[in-house]
Amino acid sequence: MELIAALADICKTSDQPIIAIDGPAGAGKTTLSATLSLALAQDFTITVIHMDDLYAGWEDALGTALTESLTWITRSHKAGKELIYSPFNWSQSDFDPPRHCASTSLLILEGVGSSQVAVEEFLATSIWIDLDPIIGFQRVIERDGDHISESMKGWLDQQRQHFARDRTKERSEFILST
């Protein structure tokens, strides 16, 4: 796959590289991160962090707390330090105890907001997965259940505003479609 070869080349020329995979909900970011992690594992030790673990619930998921967490995580990775973060427990609506991730040679961030402007300087590259938000909404409901339908409607508006403000797609080096 050409994408994997291109990413491997980019990562080999960067110290402590970070790949961000961004795009609307339901686009396939988690699936791509798993595929990349497997494909690049022969050349790198890899940590994958999902934005779902960093959001502070539905209401202000793409706010200051996410930016602060991402900034700390990306700086720590670039410095070769252990990554420590408290994943959000969606069923409890609260953060779990801290998770410790040993330093690895490659960090993959995946999820809405993973490639935001605040951390762009730390990224080796960024990937945008393009998808009509309505199709993404349908995929998420099929995957996670109808009980999150109302929350997802609010999420669609949050992600739309975030992408417009941050120019996420326009700043991405790779644009994929699903």
DSSP string over the chain:
-HHHHHHHHHHHTSSS-EEEEE-STTSSHHHHHHHHHHHHTTT--EEEEEGGGT--SSTTTTSHHHHHHHHHHHHHHHTTPPEEE--EETTTTEEPSPEEE---SEEEEESTTTT-GGGGGG-SEEEEEE--HHHHHHHHHHHH-GGGHHHHHHHHHHHHHHHHHHTHHHH-SEEEE-
Q: Give the domain range for residue 30.
A: 2-177
- Which ranges of the chain have pLDDT less than 50? none
pLDDT score for 1: 63
Q: What is the pLDDT of residues 156-173, one digit of tens each?
A: 999 999 999 999 999 999
pLDDT score for 59: 86
pLDDT score for 133: 86
pLDDT score for 66: 96
pLDDT score for 135: 94
Our count of domains for the chain comes to 1
164: CATH: 3.40.50.300
